[in-house]
């Protein structure tokens, strides 16, 4: 992740034959690893992100993502694997957010000022670690904007194990978490441990953010964590369908992003955000259109009714 490979000046050429292209791409082990890691992250981010958007905690996700940058930079400075830094800092920050009541939600100006300051300070710490490390300046861009180069098989295994554990945890608490997210007051009366669930979810969100940052980069986690989930919630109100749509959009965006990044010199983060935003905007437009059509139909019926 941190060791950037120097790209050759000639980029592979898209031949418009998908089979040849995929085969050519997957001839490189790092591309296979990138696809594996991307798939794991897309599924994890799609599921956790759906809950996050439902709970209106996208701001908490944003904060956790910012923390992943100093995490990775600190790990590099200390000479340990960046994966450790990502997970340690994100889960730690999730616990801190959970300890502060109402933190992680954009509330009043004072709370926003505090969160904004802490975020900026976190990024500044990351910059400090980078500056102390020397000779790491090339890697800073891939930390911030994502990179699919240099993902090792070990990293994929770690990601897959973390994702499996996170999703298993989520599966255990999924139903009460949905209840507590939609209607916390009623859920609390019915004996659902709302506070515990909220802390547990933040920790899960921390791991998901840490995993997502490794593909999209610290600054662009919204691409996989928020946009597919937001797209799904535009399209359907049914939880199961929404989760499926969220995962599918995440997978599609990641795969096309990887392919586009492989065939061009530009960073994967740019493609993933562009595709994800495109899908989201398309979903919103579709919904607005559907609403306009639905409104027009009864309106004309009413007009003809009043004329009688």
Partner 1 sequence: MARIPEVARHRVPPQATTTGHREGGEGVVSLRRAAVRVGGRTLWSGVDLEVGAGEFTAVLGPNGVGKSTLIKVVLGILPTAAGEVRVLGEAPGRAGHRIGYLPQRRNVDPSLRIRGIDVVRMGLDGDRWGVPLPLPLRFSARRRAARDRIAEVIELVGASAYARRPLGECSGGQQQRLLIAQALVRGPELLLLDEPLDSLDLSHQGGVAALLGRICRAEGVSVVMVAHDVNPILPWLDRVLYLAEGGAAAGPPQQVITTRTLSRLYGAPVEVLRAGDGRLVVVGGGHGTEGGGGHGHHHELD
Partner 2 sequence: MSVFTAFDHPYFTHALLAGSGIAAAAGLVGYFLVLRAQVFTGDALGHVAFTGGLAALAFGYDLRLGLFAATVVFAVLIGALGSRGRSDDVAIGSVFAWILGLGAFFLTLYSTRGAAHGTAGVSVLFGSIFGLSAGQAKVALLAAAAICAAVALLARPLLFASVDEAVATARGVPVRALGLAFLVLVGACAAEATQAVGSLLSLGLLAAPAGAAHLLTARPYHALALSAGLAVAEMWAGLGLSYAAPRLPPSFTILAVATAVYLATLVTVRPRRGRTVTSRAVRGNVPGWPRL
Q: Which partner in partner 1, partner 2, none is near 145 (CB below 5 to 8 A by kind)?
A: partner 2
Task: Determine, following the binding rule CB under 8 A, whether residue 144 of this chain makes contact with partner 2.
Answer: yes
Q: Please select the residue that binds partner 2; options are 3, 20, 56, 285, rule is CB under 8 A.
A: 56
Cα(301)–Cα(279) distance, integer angstroms: 33
Q: Find which of partner 1, partner 2, none residue 121 binds, CB within 5 to 8 Å per kind.
A: partner 2
The item of partner 1, partner 2, none sharing an interface with residue 48, based on CB under 5 to 8 Å by kind, is none
Q: Which of 83, 63, 35 is nearest to 221 (CA)?
A: 63
The CA angle 254-258-259, to the nearest 5 degrees, is 120
What minimum distance in Å lies between the beta carbon of 119 and partner 2? 7
Binding mask 146-175 for partner 2 (x = CB under 8 A): x-----------------------------
Q: In the complex, what is the shortest distance from the CB of residue 89 to partner 2, in angstroms, rounded to a whole number?
A: 17
Select from 13, 16, 101, 109 the one that contacts partner 1 (CB under 8 A): 109
Q: Which stretch binds partner 2 (CB under 8 A): 126-134, 162-170, 187-195, 205-213?
A: 126-134
- Min dist CB 38 to partner 2, Å, is 16
Given the complex with partner 2, which of 33 and 212 has the nearer CB atom? 212
CA 56 centroid distance within chain: 14
Contacted entry of partner 2, partner 1, none for residue 58, CB cut-off 5 to 8 Å set by kind: partner 2
Nearest to 254 by CA among 9, 12, 46, 25: 46
Q: Is 120 in the site for partner 2 (CB under 8 A)?
A: yes
108 binds partner 1 (CB under 8 A): yes
For position 214 contacting partner 2 by CB under 8 A, the verdict is no
Asked if 110 touches partner 1 (CB under 8 A), the answer is: yes
175 versus 295: smaller Cβ distance to partner 1: 295
User: Interface mask (CB under 8 A) for partner 2, residues 60-99, using x and -?
Assistant: --x-------------------------------------
Residue ranges in 269-288 that form contacts with partner 1 under rule CB under 8 A: none
Three-class DSSP labels, 22-66: HHHHHCCHHHHHHHHHHHHHHHHHHHHHHHHHHCCCHHHHHHHHH
| Contact between 289 and partner 2 per CB under 8 A | no
| Chain residues in the site for partner 2 (CB under 8 A) | 53, 56, 58-59, 62, 101-102, 105-110, 112-121, 123-125, 127-128, 131-132, 137-138, 140-141, 144-146, 217, 219-223, 226-227, 230, 265-267, 269-274, 276-277, 280, 284
| Chain residues in the site for partner 1 (CB under 8 A) | 108-111
């Amino acid at each position: 992740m941190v060791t950037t490979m120097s790209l050759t000046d000639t980029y592979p050429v898209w031949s418009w034959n998908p089979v040849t292209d995929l085969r050519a791409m997957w001839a490189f082990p790092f591309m296979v690893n990138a696809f594996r890691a991307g798939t794991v992250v897309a599924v994890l981010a799609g599921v956790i992100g759906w809950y996050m958007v439902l709970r209106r905690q996208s701001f908490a996700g944003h904060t956790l993502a910012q923390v992943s940058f100093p995490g990775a930079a600190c790990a590099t400075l200390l000479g340990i694997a960046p994966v450790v830094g990502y997970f340690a800092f994100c889960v730690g920050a999730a616990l801190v957010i959970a300890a502060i009541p109402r933190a992680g939600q954009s509330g009043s100006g004072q709370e926003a000022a505090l969160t904004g300051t802490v975020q900026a300070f976190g990024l500044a710490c990351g910059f400090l670690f980078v500056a102390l490390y020397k000779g790491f300046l090339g890697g800073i861009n891939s930390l911030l904007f994502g990179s699919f180069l240099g993902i090792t098989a070990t990293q994929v295994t770690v990601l897959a194990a973390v994702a499996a554990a996170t999703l298993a945890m989520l599966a255990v608490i999924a139903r009460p978490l949905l209840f507590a997210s939609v209607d916390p007051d009623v859920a609390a009366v019915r004996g659902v441990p709302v506070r515990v669930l909220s802390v547990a979810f933040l920790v899960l969100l921390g791991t998901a953010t840490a995993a997502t940052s490794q593909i999209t980069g610290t600054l662009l986690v919204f691409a996989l964590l928020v946009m597919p989930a937001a797209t799904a919630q535009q399209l359907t109100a049914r939880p199961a369908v929404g989760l499926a749509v969220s995962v599918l959009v995440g997978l599609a965006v990641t795969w096309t992003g990887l392919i586009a990044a492989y065939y061009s010199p530009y960073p994967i983060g740019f493609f993933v955000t562009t595709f994800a935003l495109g899908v989201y905007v398309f979903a919103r437009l579709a919904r607005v259109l559907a609403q306009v059509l639905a409104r027009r139909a009864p309106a004309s019926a009413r007009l003809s009714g009043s004329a009688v």
